[in-house]
Amino acid sequence: MKQRAQFTTKIGILAATVGSAVGLGNIWRFPYEAGSNGGAAFIFIYIISVCVIGIPVICCEFIMGRGTHKNVHGAFNALHASSLWKYASYLNILASLMILSFYSVVAGWTLNYLSEAVTGKMTMTGEHDFSAEFGNFVASPWQPTVFTIIFLMFNHVIVARGIKKGIERISNTVMPILGVILIVLMANSLLLPKATEGLRFLFYPDFTKITPSVVLSALGQAFFSLSLGLSCLLTYSSYFNDRTPLVKNATMIATLDTIVAIISGIIIFCALFSFDGEPAAGPKLVFEILPGIFNSMPGGYFWAVLFFLLLVFASITSSISMTEISVAYFSEEYNISRKTSTRISTAIGMIFGALCSLSFGILNDFTIFGMSLFSLFDYISSNILLPLGGLIFTIFVGWIINKRFVQEQLTNNGQIARKSSKIIIFLIKYIAPIAIVVVCLSVLRVI
Ligand code: TRP
């Protein structure tokens, strides 16, 4: 039998998993969610969600992936063959392709904005109406769709090259650059005239702003940002070796991902307050408000190029991780080559990505349950399939599979102290599933 691929170094493992977590979720979604949900109060709840739900769910995925060295379907089968559990894997694969489709649309927008920043169009002097420009761009029949497809082509080339030469190599190259860009942009924002107002908004919580809907948004954001509930980290961890410390890695991913989200918040809000932008602008924050700020900021050309480069880099290391879920499934379960399975996933991504992209323009009137295809994919996957996937992982690992197996995975067969694993198991069994059920029911508006 062909030997299964593995990541080659500790740094490679960290770069790939943090690369999966750090993406549009941190730089595009987190600031607008925080902005619309009261700033610091939202961040406070977000951090609690990451600790009590995020880290335990990452550990569940790691236990299943590293413990079996299989794709999600194979992992469910290997751990509990004669049951309905394997259908949970279909849910994961379906959701991963849905997320890949709409994620590539937003990633395509960032490619377009990067090209506008590089060519100087964004920071050109003269009258600009960035809201109208964004509206016209997303509604145009071909431009955003072409960028979606170009993005998926980059994505394809990396994934098709495999774990070592594709995913690990690109993550090792891009993640350090991403770190440097983040720090440079943060320093620039902190030096802006009203930076302290931005910091106040981010770090001075007004607890009266915490409402059930703020809690829900924070939980949903934690799932999205940490790449949870889709078996993304399960699939990556199936390429870990048996010495990789699971709890330590889970904690590191969660910590680094949260730090990046907060740095993005600093970059955006210090600039926003200094140039009188509206923090509660929603999803268009990065695409309509920021270009205006770069346009009026000294050295705007440089900062705009850096910022959109950051977005493109962050999205590619995330999209490859979504693609790997179905690629691993197709190639291992149907015994086809990696190249062919990547082609299948890319083709599905391109077809549905193009449809999602067109749903802002010519397919605008085509709605399902009153939502455009883009919103529907976003809604079903982020609000329903991710938390449901997370719930299934915690119940499966906490209650169904062999307890000794869970212990052995968390402690690497007794080589790592048991204390942290005890806390994690408690969170997996009780706290995380209960909290997720509350989220699911509230999303479905049952409670
Ligand atoms: N976490 C990534 C981000 O913040 C997106 C992502 C990658 C993701 N893989 C995922 C989201 C799996 C949900 C599930 O942009």
pTM for the full predicted model: 0.95
Question: Is 225 a pocket residue for ligand 1 (Cβ < 6 Å)?
Answer: yes
Q: Tell me how far apart the alpha carbons of residues 106 and 103 are, in angstroms, rounded to a whole number.
A: 5
Q: How far, rounded to the nearest angstrom, does the alpha carbon of residue 276 sit from its chain's CA centroid?
A: 29
Cβ 266 vs Cβ 199: under 8 Å: yes
Determine the pLDDT at residue 447: 55
Structure tokens at 261: 């989200």
Question: Is 318 a pocket residue for ligand 1 (Cβ < 6 Å)?
Answer: yes
Q: Tell me how far apart the alpha carbons of residues 319 and 176 are, in angstroms, rounded to a whole number.
A: 18
Contacts of 391 (CB under 8 A, 6+ apart): 433, 436, 437, 440
Structure tokens at 30: 């987190």
Determine the pLDDT at residue 287: 92
Question: Is 323 a pocket residue for ligand 1 (Cβ < 6 Å)?
Answer: no
Question: Is 291 a pocket residue for ligand 1 (Cβ < 6 Å)?
Answer: no
State in Å, rounded, how far the first CA of the chain is from the last one. 51
Q: Please return the burial class of 47, using the count of CB atoms within 10 Å of its CB with bins 0-12, 13-18 and 19+.
A: middle
| Ligand 1 centroid, distance to 298 Cα (angstroms) | 33
Determine the pLDDT at residue 62: 98
Question: Is 26 a pocket residue for ligand 1 (Cβ < 6 Å)?
Answer: yes
pLDDT, averaged per 10 consecutive residues of the chain (447 residues), comes to 85 98 95 91 95 97 98 95 84 95 96 96 84 92 95 98 97 96 94 94 91 83 94 98 96 98 95 88 85 88 95 98 98 96 98 95 84 87 86 96 96 90 96 88 65
> What's 148-166 look like in SS3?
HHHHHHHHHHHHHCCHHHH
Q: Which residue has the tokens 């236990």?
A: 63
Number of neighbours of residue 110 by Cβ within 10 angstroms? 26
Determine the pLDDT at residue 244: 96
Cβ 217 vs Cβ 282: under 8 Å: no
Structure tokens at 131: 């809201």
| Ligand 1 centroid, distance to 228 Cα (angstroms) | 7
Determine the pLDDT at residue 214: 83
Question: Is 58 a pocket residue for ligand 1 (Cβ < 6 Å)?
Answer: no
> What's 220-232 look like in SS3?
HHHHHHCCCCCCH
Determine the pLDDT at residue 81: 67
Protein residue with its CA nearest to atom 12 in ligand 1: 227
Determine the pLDDT at residue 215: 84
Looking at the CA of residue 20, tell me the nearest atom of ligand 1.
7
Q: Which of 17, 18, 20 to mutate to test the pocket of ligand 1 (most atoms within 8 A of CB)?
A: 20
Q: Which residue has the tokens 């999209």?
A: 319
Q: Which of 232, 326, 386 to mutate to test the pocket of ligand 1 (most atoms within 8 A of CB)?
A: 232
DSSP single-letter state for residue 337: -
Nearest CA to 221 among 231, 209, 229?
A: 229
Q: Which of 258, 286, 317, 321 to mutate to test the pocket of ligand 1 (most atoms within 8 A of CB)?
A: 321
| Ligand 1 centroid, distance to 40 Cα (angstroms) | 23
Determine the pLDDT at residue 289: 84
| Ligand 1 centroid, distance to 119 Cα (angstroms) | 30
